[in-house]
Amino acid sequence: QAVLTQPPSVSGPPGQRVTISCSGSSSNLGTNTVNWYQQLPGTAPKLLIYSNSQRPSGVPGRFSGSKSGTSASLTISGLQSEDEADYHCAAWDESLHGPVFGGGTKLTVL
């Protein structure tokens, strides 16, 4: 059972905007920032967003993130077929003294 809660799946046609939610508690999202990882089929996760809304070098601007209280979201604008992947949210947890993850959301581009 994942500590952070994400929807199992989302979908949308090319060009549309989709949002993936991530819900936590005071010991993780309520205290620390959220990170998002993209996992393409058969590959390792890749850092997509860190510190709620920062994009590492090379990540397209159509990926954006935000956080409010104990909830966070990842928005993908202008969906492309290559965005089809699993997306995982994560945050440091004060109780665990380590990071906790969501269960992952599978994005399907219709």
Binding positions for other proteins, 58-87, rule CB under 8 A: none
55-58, long-range: CB within 8 Å, 24+ apart, which pairs? none
Residue of the chain from 51, 60, 80, 110 that contacts other proteins (CB under 8 A):
51
Residue of the chain from 38, 88, 107, 109 that contacts other proteins (CB under 8 A):
88
Q: Which is nearer to other proteins, 11 or 51 (CB)?
A: 51
Structure token pair of residue 7: 């929807």
> Which phi and psi angles does 8 have, rounded to 5°?
-65, -35
User: One symbol per residue from 19 to 48: x for binding other proteins (CB under 8 A), - otherwise; what is it?
Assistant: ------------xxx-x-x-----xxxxx-
* CA geometry: angle 60, 101, 84, nearest 5 deg: 40
DSSP element (H, E) containing 108: strand 105-109
- What is the contact surface with other proteins in residues (CB under 8 A)? 2, 31-33, 35, 37, 43-47, 50-51, 56, 88, 90, 92, 96-104
